[in-house]
Each structure stands twice: as C-alpha cells, then as structure tokens.
Structure 1
C-alpha cells in the first residue's frame, strides 16, 4: 500500500485522497500490529520476565523513533519525499520477513462446549475492562490521550514547517531529541516500578505529562525555539 505513493508520484497521479487512504490503512495496520505484538509476548516468555520484555520492546520502539525521523529527514533532503516513502515500503517487507522467522510453539485453544459469538465476546471484554478498578481507568485515560495527541500531531507537523520555516532535516533532528526522552524512560521503568510500584509510576507519568507541553508555547523561529521544543518533547516522551 505504501509503495503506491512513489508509483503514483512517478506518473504524476498522486492525490490527497490516495494519501488519506494509505495513511488510514497503514495506521490501522500499525494499531493491530502493536496490539498483536504485545499480546504475543506472554506466549514467548514466562510471567516474571514480562515487565523486562515490555521495557526492552519500548526501548527498541523509542530507538526507532530517535533514528527514524533523522534518517527520514536525510533521505527526503537527498532523494526526495516520494523515494523516501519507497524506502519506507521496503522496511515493511524487512519487518514482515523478521516476523516470519519467529518460531515458537503455542498451545491450542481449550475446547468450548458452546459456539462462540464474536459480538458476545467483545461485549464481555468491554464489560470486564470498564468494571476493572485499574484496567478501566488506564484504558479510558490512554484513549483520551491518544485521541488528543493524534489531533495535535496533524497540526504539529504542519506548524514548524509552514509557520516556523523549519527544514525537513531540522524537524527530524528535533523529533529525534524528543524521542530520546522516551528511550531514557524505558531504561528506568523496571527499576522505578520495582521501587515505587506500577501504579505510582503510571500516575506520576500521567500527572507530569501536561507540564511538558508548556515549553511548546515558547516556540519561535530560530535555533532557540528549536531547542525549547526539543526539550519539551524530551520531557513529554
């Protein structure tokens, strides 16, 4: 799907509708892939190693967030946006190849006496999540936060480039600085959780997250504004 963008650009047939469609499909697959990867970890490791595994997975994702924007900015500056998207499409093929090389035995599902209903299972899962004293508030908070961040991200990408006149390389560098904050956080998650408990760490993170947005109000053209925004994103992630 991503490979259709450089192909359409090569024949001067690229439209905004196609970009929307590709972004929707890729984003939906990304959500499903992240959910599947997190659900698959318990089948690969024993329970006492899950926290460490999730922390390492978060570290790997954050490292990609650090290097990805910088590499994307460099590629766009050298070969153009359409060819950079083509390189991104190749990266998805590499990811699929690596995923197929995972070999792990998995126990089959328990036999059921009744025919399962997908709608009933969804209803039961939502009811359990909503009534749970910990999972319910976490899911609600993450849903609200993700919705707000998705809306602001659409504006955030346009604002530095059009209003602050950042180049693609500068934008990638600032985003990489911000992503490094998430990498440092993932390295300390296990230690902080063992000392203060998972609940206290999550509540503290959710409480401090809004404060990280304050430096973004000082954004203005020039290196100083870029440094301020980078520091704000560093604290947020």
Structure 2
C-alpha cells in the first residue's frame, strides 16, 4: 500500500479519475431528470439515452482495441477525455438558448460514448504500465473507492445543482471534470514503451481476430468477460428505472433522490476499502463470485421502498448491493488484467468491452420497456432477483474456480 502512495503517476491518474467520477455521477442524476421532468419521458426514453451512450462500443469497439495496441495509451486517453468534455457541454450549451430535446440528449450521450470507447480501452493497459503487478489489486480497489466516493457525492451534488441551476446546466460539472482528468493524465511523466509492431503488417482483421481468439481460448478470461457482461446488463436495466421509480412511485424531490442515491452508494466505498484484503484472504476467484452471491438478495429491498420513512429501504438495499458489487468488480478487473498479456491487453479489453456494450444498451432498453409494461417497482424487483440467480449460478457452477491468473503469451497475436 505504501508503494502506491509514493507512486506519483498513479496518484495523478487516481486524482483525475476521482474528480471525473464525481462529475459523471452528477450527470447520472441530471440527464434523467431533464428527460423525465422537463421532457416528460417514459422509462423507455431514459433507456434509449443510456443505450445511445454504449452503442458506439458495440459498433467500433474491436477496431478501437487494435488502435490502442498500435498507439500510445496516454495520448489516446487525453484526446478522448477532451472529446467527452465537449460532448457533455452540448447539453448546457443548448439549455443556454432554449430547452434541450430528446434528440439533443441522445446525441450528447452518443458522442460521449464514442470518445469513451477509446478512453476505457486505453485505460486498463495504461494502468498495468503505471502500477507494478504486485500492487494491481490494491490500485483497482483505490480506483473503485474513488468511483464509490463519486457515487456518494455526485448524486447529492447533482441534486443540489439541479435545484440551483436546472438539470441541463448541472451537466456543466461533468464536462469540466473530463477536462480536469485530461490535465492530470497529461502530467504523468512515466515513460511509455513504443507500441509493438510486427513485420509491417497493418491489416485490421487479423489483429482483431487475434484479440477475440485470445480471449475465447483462455477459460478464465472468457468467464470473467461473460460474467461482467451479464452483471452490467442487469445493472443497466435497473438503472433505467431507478430514477423514474423514485420520482413517480416514491414521490421524491430531486434533492431527496440525490441523498438517497448518495447514502446507498456509500456501500461501494466500504467495499472498496476492504476489497484488497478480501481478495488476499479468499483469492480473486472466490471473491468475485462470493461477494455478489452474499449481498445481492438484500438488494431486493430497493424495490420495496415507499413514501416517507419507507424510502430508506432503497438506500439500505443499494448500500448492501454496491458493497458486494464493488468487491466483486475489483476481483473481476484484476483477474482480467493479470490473465492477459500486455502486448494484447488493449484488444482483450476491447473484446470484453464489446460484450458489455452489447448487453448494456439491451439492458437499458429492456429495463425501460419492463418499467413501462410492468411498472417501475415490479420491473426493479424482477431485475435484481435475476441478479441474485446469476450470482448463485456463478458460485454453484464453479465457473471461476480452478483457473490460474498467469497471462498466456498470444500465440498468433498480430500487434500491428
């Protein structure tokens, strides 16, 4: 742990991602509130906005993986982060001269998602460069703790900004946070090795298939990627109805919604603090499946929330669920980084991201459709119940057990 505190490059990366996380958490409250309160969108409309953000990864994710393995990761992260800042600035800019429309929200989400594909794909390989192997789990836990802090502060800040400046103008905080993250990354002075190249072959298809084949051949990587995709599908489906549920069924104000989400999300911070110890005690494999299996059932309390004091049930359920999800996610992400060769990690990350990106828009649309069809409360209960069954299945099937975390060298990886 001490070595991480002395690692200037990691601390710059960590600081930037913490600030950016808070800004993005503001948008998770502000943008749905623009859609629901100002534009009177149904849950399906909120789902379409979320789907638009993740659609670019589905369309170009594999190509971006090749790009990242052929270019400097830090430079890619800087210009991609700047693009995300401009994308989010569209919403408050339009609000300055009128009222945003659903097409504007969808456009902003889609452009942010487009640049986000480049940033996320470069992020994992760059973290592997910045942090020594023995500190990787702790680094992932610290980064996850930042996301938890963002989940706590961001919604509360978002609710306050919405009440002070309006939902659309509150998105300015997200745009500014992307710029701060870019500045922090630009200050990292660690020497990045030149991208690997072989024999002058620059064809895309062999490089793409190498990444896909590498992931499919490795049993542990395959299990991790499929598990993350399934979890993200269900979480996105739940997210598509959460704000609508709290507004229409629980009848909370924007400020109260921010507080409820902040309190509930603090479970992720607690989970991040102990994730390193849990993974060291039980191993990455057991922690990934076990933490989710133990905590997911209490997440059903979220769907039991009601008016008055009963609204606190949402916070309690979200607290326990994010606690387990954080431990599980830290274990999953570290497993993926350790089990991948650095030479092909960009393409492995892109392939895994593609799986998640294929399920996240689907989850948003299905979650929104279920909310419109069954009602937000029943839909939320059904989605979290499915997450419980998934966690139980991971434990009973022993999918993640019995696999080692030593990275295989790509047999035919064309580095480009």
The question of a shared fold, defined as TM-score above 0.5 by the shorter chain, is answered with yes
Is 2:157 the counterpart of 1:71? yes
C-alpha distance in structure 2 between counterparts of 1:96 and 1:29, whole Å: 13
Q: Which residue of 2 aligns with 1:95?
A: 181
Is 2:278 the counterpart of 1:187? no
Is 2:125 the counterpart of 1:39? yes
Is 2:109 the counterpart of 1:7? no
Q: Which residue of 2 aligns with 1:236?
A: 321
TM-score (normalised: structure 2):
0.54
Q: Which residue of 2 aligns with 1:173?
A: 259
Flag the 1:95–1:109 CA change in 2: closer, same or farther, 3 A: closer
TM-score (normalised: structure 1):
0.92
**Following superposition of structure 1 onto structure 2, how do residues 133-152 of structure 1 map, counting pairs within 5 Å?**
133-152=219-238
Q: CA deviation at 1:31?
A: 4.7
CA RMSD of aligned residues (A): 1.8
Please give the per-residue CA displacement for 1:7-65, whole angstroms capped at 9, x wherever unaligned: 21222252111101111222343454234222211111221111111111111121111
C-alpha distance in structure 2 between counterparts of 1:90 and 1:110, whole Å: 34
Flag the 1:37–1:94 CA change in 2: closer, same or farther, 3 A: same
Q: CA deviation at 1:155?
A: 1.5
C-alpha distance in structure 2 between counterparts of 1:124 and 1:21, whole Å: 33
Structure 2: state its 5+ residue gaps.
1-86, 323-416
Structure 1: state its 5+ residue gaps.
none
Q: CA deviation at 1:183?
A: 1.0
Q: Which residue of 2 aligns with 1:223?
A: 309
Runs of 4+ in 1 over 3 A off after TM superposition: 27-32
Aligned residue for 1:134, secondary structure, equals helix
C-alpha distance in structure 2 between counterparts of 1:216 and 1:164, whole Å: 11
Aligned residue for 2:88, secondary structure, equals coil
Return 133-142 or 116-125, whichever deviates more.
Answer: 116-125
C-alpha distance in structure 2 between counterparts of 1:111 and 1:131, whole Å: 23
Q: Which residue of 2 aligns with 1:23?
A: 109
**Following superposition of structure 1 onto structure 2, how do residues 87-166 of structure 1 map, counting pairs within 5 Å?**
87-166=173-252
C-alpha distance in structure 2 between counterparts of 1:86 and 1:192, whole Å: 38
Flag the 1:82–1:38 CA change in 2: closer, same or farther, 3 A: same
